[in-house]
Chains A and B, each alone.
Chain A
Amino acid sequence: MARTYLYNNHIKLGAKMVDFAGWDMPVQYTSIIEEHNNVRNNAGLFDVSHMGEIFVTGKQSLEYLQMLVPQDVAKLKNEQAVYCQMTNEKGGIVDDLIIYKLEPDNYLIVVNASRINADYDWFIEHTKGFEVKVENKSDVYSMVALQGPKSIDILEKMGIEKSKQPKSFYIMRTKLLNCDVFISRTGYTGEDGFEIIIQNEKVSELWETILEKGKEFNIMPVGLGARDTLRLEAAMSLYGHELTEETTPVEAGLTWSIDKDKKEQYIGKNVITNQLKNGTLKKLIAFKMTDRAIARSEYKIYSNNQEIGYVTSGSVAPSLGENIGLGYIKTDNNLKINDTIQLMIRNKLYNAKISAKNFIKKHNRVN
């Protein structure tokens, strides 16, 4: 199993380690619920070094990226970021990613750990005819996420005063610990915060320094367990669950991340344009359990004793004291928000209610 450069830090902190996409990662240090709440109330530090960093440079970088994603990359200002998906010919999602425009003809793309190789192959495969260079630097860089309302105070303690910190969905290149870093105002928790990309050799020192400087703000190291409950409360999709090569951004409810006026062709555009106009056969919904039960991935969803879909993510929502989930249902039943659905759990049906995709108020909105 692969280890990040923070492996020894995790062991020292007593983390419980699990396999995530082939990486030996901390699932929790103390308790998922405690870590979750601390990110909502104070701050948390995550090791997300397993994620990938791919750089696209060259004269035709923009044209090249325009061909790969439904977003309009031309609208990005220097140092601005955009959340989007890379789509295949069927409109299915190869991966969801964030594109950062560092400067003209120089883009950083952060991708999911489980998709680094698939993405890199996809990128390379489509360079044909474009004057671009694609480099996978995932093995060179590590990444930590500092998330929660106290993140801005902690980053200030690290030497970046608040007025200089990047705005939401912007990235800055600066120095921390005498080392070149990228700091972006992005995250996967629904809270304000930053993601910091640094060379592997310096990440352990960065990790320890942030935990030290963040002490007075009650920072905690946070594992992947809470990362999952935090993102689910924010109704953010997870690749491999809500997003796959068989689901389109329209079906996944990500139409806000599609530029409907984009003139340029991109892979899968025909399917996506058609779905935007005529609708889809399935759609992603959010739900809250009304019976006492917890939804889990792959449970079947029912309505009037008919199977109509399946759960993609489900858990307790520590911030709400409720049990929530996301799942796909067929669209031909005209179910809407507040309507009742059932989940088949251990051969029994339990009631749930379709909910708006805003379990919590997001503080670092991407949409």
Chain B
Amino acid sequence: MAVPENMLCSKTHEYVYEEDGYYYVGLTDYAIEQLGDIVFVEFPVVGEVYSKGEIFGTVESVKAASELYMPLTGRIIEIQEKLIENPELLNENPFEKIWLIKVEAEFFDEDRLDLIDYETYKKELE
């Protein structure tokens, strides 16, 4: 999958992009590469509202647990269920960006202030 044009990334390595009126949140390929073998993903409760900056889940590699932070405020309407049984899919397709959660939200401009586009994000890592 190509990187969606409107995709934004956070300093904590989540990305968010919009498609057909919904927002999709996931973990960047860089973060996945850094974590190594991913063995566990903990998801939020579907239907709940999470605020921007709030922890919505955890991704665990062999070595460590990493918390996931909401890049925007919104209601969780779907989680990537196949990752519950097969978290390694994240490693197998790091460039195909498997989103983690689908969110219903209003994405306010002020919530975008600390987010950067993917190109800038990549450059800042160098």
Contacts and interface: CB of A to CB of B under 8 A. Distances in A.
A28 B62 CA distance: 11
Nearest to A316: B39
Contact of B63 (A27, A293, A318, A346): A27
A315 B36 contact: no
B36 A294 contact: no
B63 A294 contact: no
Interface of B: 36-37, 39-40, 42, 55, 58, 60-65, 91
A105 B26 CA distance: 62
Chain A binding surface SS class? mixed
B36 A31 contact: yes
A296 B37 contact: no
A16 B55 CA distance: 28
Contacts of B40: 292-294, 316
Contacts of A27: 36, 63
18 contacts: A16-B36, A27-B36, A28-B36, A31-B37, A31-B91, A32-B36, A32-B37, A32-B62, A33-B62, A225-B36, A229-B62, A293-B42, A294-B40, A294-B60, A296-B65, A316-B39, A346-B55, A346-B58
Nearest to A318: B62
Given A31-B91, A32-B37, A316-B40, 10 more contacts: A16-B36, A28-B36, A31-B36, A225-B36, A225-B62, A229-B62, A296-B64, A296-B65, A346-B55, A346-B58
A31 B90 CA distance: 14
Interface in A9-32: 16, 27-28, 31-32
Nearest to A18: B63
A32 B63 contact: yes
- Interface magnitude class on chain A: 10 to 19
Contacts, number: 38
Interface of A: 16, 27-28, 31-33, 225, 228-229, 292-294, 296, 315-316, 318, 346
A315 B62 contact: yes
Which of B58, B64, B65, B91 has most A Cβ within 10 Å?
B65
Contact of B39 (A16, A28, A294): A294
Nearest to A297: B64
A147 to B, nearest CB: 18
Nearest to A31: B37
Contacts of A32: 36-37, 61-63
A316 B62 contact: yes
The 10 A-B residue pairs with the shortest CB-CB distance in the complex, in nearest-first order: A32-B62, A316-B39, A33-B37, A294-B60, A31-B37, A32-B37, A294-B40, A225-B63, A32-B36, A316-B62
Contacts of B36: 16, 27-28, 31-32, 225
Contacts of B42: 293, 346
Nearest to A292: B40
A9 B92 CA distance: 27
A292 B58 CA distance: 13
B77 to A, nearest CB: 23
Contacts of B63: 27, 32, 225, 228, 315
A16 B37 CA distance: 13
A293 B87 CA distance: 13
A16 to B, nearest CB: 7
A216 to B, nearest CB: 27
Contacts of A292: 40
Nearest to B62: A32
B70 to A, nearest CB: 15
B4 to A, nearest CB: 28
B89 to A, nearest CB: 14
B104 to A, nearest CB: 25
A292 B39 CA distance: 11
A318 B88 CA distance: 13
A126 B126 CA distance: 51
Nearest to A16: B36
A176 B58 CA distance: 48
A346 B63 CA distance: 17
Nearest to B34: A16
B116 to A, nearest CB: 25
A346 B59 CA distance: 13
A225 B36 CA distance: 10
A5 B106 CA distance: 55
